[in-house]
Amino acid sequence: MLDLILEILCLFFNVIQWSLISLSKYILPYSMLPKKDLHKQKVLITGAGSGLGKLLTRKFADRGAVLILWDVNLKSVDELKDEIRGNGGEAHSYEVNLCDPRRIAEVGQQVLRDIGKVDILINNAGVATAKMIMDTTERDIDVSFGVNVKSHFFTVQQFLPPMLEENHGHIVTIASAAGKMGSAGLADYTSSKHAAVGFHDSLVAEVMASGKDGIKTTLVCPYYVHTSMFDATGATTRFPSIFPILDTDYVVQKIFEAIETEQEYLVTPSGLYFVFPGVQILPYKAQKAIGEFFGLIQSLDRFHK
């Protein structure tokens, strides 16, 4: 009986300890948090040619990181590579169709041979078709799941083993608030982002089971962001001070800070930290009522086909 009591006390202490450490990264100012040294760290970003990926690339370049840029549009990452090199940085660009596992493996091995172990892997690329379920084609589903989640399996398979060998690395999953709540007309996107969140949770469990505490992970779930995929021009919620449509530069800065401070979970805007746990235990009609009350549901016309 005494052993059980001691075990429970130990469990309680550990839960409080790790919760306080995690909480400190949410409440303390960024300037007060310890930060990893990014100089010469090899950072691979998928979907680096546009949107969040492009802006993240510039952030890491400013800190002296070595950038490895993947995109289906080679011209876009070639131009970004030249920009970084023109500013005295180091960057490498590759054309990768993330729906092609063989291409991911081929380029992944090329990166490991030519550049070496990847220190930070950012699975950023994402697509959405914005169609109702009955209008969604097999190809729509294949592309959404191929880019938004299946590619995560294949990139991690390439770059996690060297991280485990050295007990050093960081894997970032750019998911979405849609990975926590469903939305009408976005079934391919929301279901693939739910899958990405599930993949990330499983990845974390496997890394912890390996005992390699030098491998860090970060899950990012932003709300609507004005990007090439979503046109936020004029969009708003009922209470924008609590649930704003997000500015791209703001989101990129928060993602960068989360990676630099090794924050495990980033949701933005922060009001969603309180919405997700409460809403997900409610009946569907109650969830819909809350979404409509706060004006969280946006028109599908804003998604670029």
Q: CB count, 10 Å around CB of 123?
A: 29
- The domain containing residue 222 runs over which residues? 34-229+245-273
* Active-site hit among 189, 223, 250, 265: 189
How many domains, the chain? 1
Confirm whether 294 is domain-assigned: no
Per-residue pLDDT, 298: 56
Among 169, 47, 69, residue whose Cα is nearest residue 115: 69
What are the structure tokens assigned to 191, written together?
């279901």
Per-residue pLDDT, 41: 98
Predicted confidence pLDDT, tens digits, the chain (305 residues): 777 788 888 888 888 887 787 777 777 788 788 899 999 999 999 999 999 999 999 999 999 999 999 999 999 999 999 999 999 999 999 999 999 999 999 999 999 999 999 999 999 999 988 788 999 999 999 999 999 999 999 999 999 999 999 999 999 999 988 887 777 778 898 999 999 999 999 999 999 999 999 999 999 999 877 666 665 555 566 777 777 778 899 999 999 999 999 999 998 877 776 777 666 777 878 877 877 787 766 545 555 54
Task: Provide the β-strand partners of residue 217.
Answer: 171
Pairing of strands 215-222, 265-268: parallel
Confirm whether 161 is domain-assigned: yes
Residue 5 vs residues 19, 153, 287: alpha-carbon distances, Å: 21, 41, 40
What are the structure tokens assigned to 192, written together?
């693939």
Q: Rounded CA gap, 39 and 48, in Å? A: 19
Contact 292, 92 (CB under 8 A): no
Contact 68, 42 (CB under 8 A): yes
Per-residue pLDDT, 224: 77
Confirm whether 174 is domain-assigned: yes
Confirm whether 65 is domain-assigned: yes
Per-residue pLDDT, 272: 74
CATH number at residue 206: 3.40.50.720
Contact 99, 151 (CB under 8 A): yes
Per-residue pLDDT, 292: 77
Known catalytic residue: 189?
A: yes
Among 269, 293, 267, 291, residue whose Cα is nearest residue 183: 291
Residues 6+ apart with CB under 8 A from 181: 190, 276, 279, 280, 287, 291
